[in-house]
Structure 1
Amino acid sequence: MTNYQLSTEGYQFIKQWEGERLQAYRDPAGVWTIGVGHTGPVNGQPIKAGLTITAKQSEQLLQTDIHTHTQVLKQVVTAPLTQHQFDALASFCFNLGPNIIKDAALLQAINRQDWLETTNQMSRYVHAGNVVLQGLVNRRQAEIQLFMKNLTTSNWRKETGTFTLNTAINLRTQANTNASIIATLQPKQAIKYDAYLIEANGHVWLRQPRDNGYGYLASGQSKNNKRISYWGSFS
């Protein structure tokens, strides 16, 4: 994923949530900060009490920080993203540091295009130390709203239940019939699932929680965003 750039909307989103202060201050976690959420050196010197910068310097620092944070994002995310999704993840990384996107559970969810689990993982990052900060809760909610903006209805929905197979079905590493097979489940086998996805024209997928992540199985066919067949029964 190399051609994405932060949009004007994403740029303003970051500025809105970070705020801009031209005099050094400590953020809620006690980190010296200046400009638009800048915590690194200024002119080669660490930020400290009494430091001030101009609006032009603040803008230059912001441009550099955005480049740094989005470069890591581009390097590790392989799934196609909408512009809104890229902007939301750029804000997430800007707030938490560029390497936060390398968190295994989060990155795996993004790269398998499991948007429900992606947003679940994003919502975990609301602490400063061991304290939940309402400001971070609010920001994560806003980022998740932006991330999910204008996505089609063919997306993961939360639901828990048991599915008992009528026929053998392959359990796969992604909700895709070309994905690697984890196991072939047998008729009468019952699996627990925690979410489902209805493709526009294809299959209805179930997500099975596993010790090392998730497995995905098609539970029937879909057409025009509706289920048209069942390959088992639900309870």
Structure 2
Amino acid sequence: MQTTSPRGIDYLESIEGVVLKAYRDPVGIWTIGGGLTAASGVVTPRPGMVISRKEASRLLALALKRSYEPRVRKTLGNVEQHAFDGAVSFDWNTGAIHRASWVKAFLNGNPTKARAKLMLWVKGGGRVLPGLKRRRREEADIILLNKWPAHVTIARNPSKPNVAFAGLAISLSPDEIDQVAEAFRIIGFDPGKRSGRISLIAVSEFQRKYDLRVDGIIGKATLSTLQRELDARKGAKKGAGGAAGGAAVAGGGEAVAPGTGLPDPTSLDPALLKWVGMAGGATAGVYLLYLAWHYRDMIAARIANRLPRTAKFLRSF
């Protein structure tokens, strides 16, 4: 019975990241390990939960065994190992191997058409995402050519921070790193001026403020939290009657969340203070209350120094 190879798992982890302390994904769902939520059926992440690297690998393998590998085997039949590995990555990301049109072209021996069809799966939130385009290109190379990207083992061997710059635990292109740097700049953390690198101080201070593991390494938890901060600002500004800009922070092989343009570098604090008390009609009031609830972890980051118990409570569920 065919299963994902160690190299295939390395690739999946290089794209998805491996986080050993539970974090909220961009839409607020508690996540741990290689992108596992309660919906995975193998773990129920909760606030403060910490697992070992060995346990993260075990949970990932269990999720693959229960859900993804059977679907890929049923859809593709007996294929070469590299094709199976690339297809597992595609299905992990989309859950759509059983209905993807590229599969028929691949099984019919038409690699050109299969690649073209694979490249149709590059949208999130209704727009083309550069991270997904890169992931699909890499998956096509793996499936069709047995050609693997250089970053395959980055999750197992992350680039470590040095005295000046943060490290990386997932694959990011130079352009994606610059996009992340701009997001840090927008929310008030100086990423430095060097293209393709981000200040260690900025990343460490961000991780400390948002109750993440402070290791100076940019991984999925840091990027997801950064995206939540950007989205919270967009929502607060919209609720206050301003223009709702937005941004998508690259998250390895896929953009973490949809959006267009870059938000104005406006402080969130005034809007946060207005969320509960602002008048503007019943609909606006309900929307603002929803935002305050949905982004309670962002509020916690702002009040932790003054109201540590309240911040701890807001982070506890």
Alignment TM class, shorter chain as reference? 0.5 to 0.7
2:136 aligns with 140
- 2:15 corresponds in structure 1 to 17
Give the counterpart letter for 2:69 in structure 1. Answer: T
Q: Tell me which residue corresponds to 1:57.
A: 55
Aligned-partner Cα distance in 1 for 2:60–2:42:
16
Q: Does 1:129 align with 2:137?
A: no
Structure 1 contact 65–94 (Cα < 8 Å) conserved = no
Deviation, structure 1 residue 137: 1.6
Alignment of 1:64-143 (within 5 A): 64-67=62-65, 68-78=67-77, 80-97=78-95, 100-103=96-99, 105-143=101-139
Query: Displacement of 1:89 after TM fit?
Result: 0.6
Q: CA deviation at 1:35?
A: 0.4
Shift of 1:148: 2.1
- Count of matched residue positions in the alignment of Structure 1 and Structure 2: 146
Q: CA RMSD in A?
A: 2.7
Native 8 Å contact 2:119 2:136 kept in 1:
yes
Considering Cα pairs closer than 8 Å and 6+ residues apart, tell me whether 1 or 2 has the greater RCO: 2
Q: Structure 1 unaligned runs (5+)?
A: 152-235
Residue equivalent to 2:291: none
Instruction: Write out aligned runs for 1:75-224 (5 A).
Output: 75-78=74-77, 80-97=78-95, 100-103=96-99, 105-149=101-145
AA in 2 matched with 1:81: V
More deviation, 27-36/114-123: 27-36
Secondary structure at the counterpart of residue 10 of structure 1 = helix
TM-score by length of 1: 0.53
Q: 1: distance between equivalents of 2:10 and 2:43?
A: 27
Q: Helix, strand or coil: the match of 1:95?
A: helix
Higher-Rg member (1/2): 1
Structure 1 Cα separation of the partners of residues 94 and 26 of structure 2: 13
CA deviation after TM superposition for structure 1 residue 40, in Å:
3.2
In 2, Cα distance between the equivalents of 1:149 and 1:137? 17
Other-structure match for 1:195: none
Q: Is the 8 A contact 1:73 1:101 kept in 2?
A: yes
Return the structure number with greater strand share: 1
Amino acid at match of 2:22: A
Matches of 2:40 and 2:146, distance apart in 1? 39
Question: Is contact 2:36-2:43 (8 Å) kept?
Answer: no
Query: Relative to structure 1, is the Cα distance of residues 46 and 102 closer, same or farther in structure 2, using a 3 angstrom cutoff?
Result: same
Unaligned runs of 5+ in 2: 148-317
Question: Normalized against structure 2, the TM-score is what?
Answer: 0.41
Kept in 2, the 8 Å contact 1:77–1:110? The answer is: no
Percent identical residues: 29
AA matched with 1:93 = D
Structure 1 counterpart of 2:34, from 36, 48, 51: 36
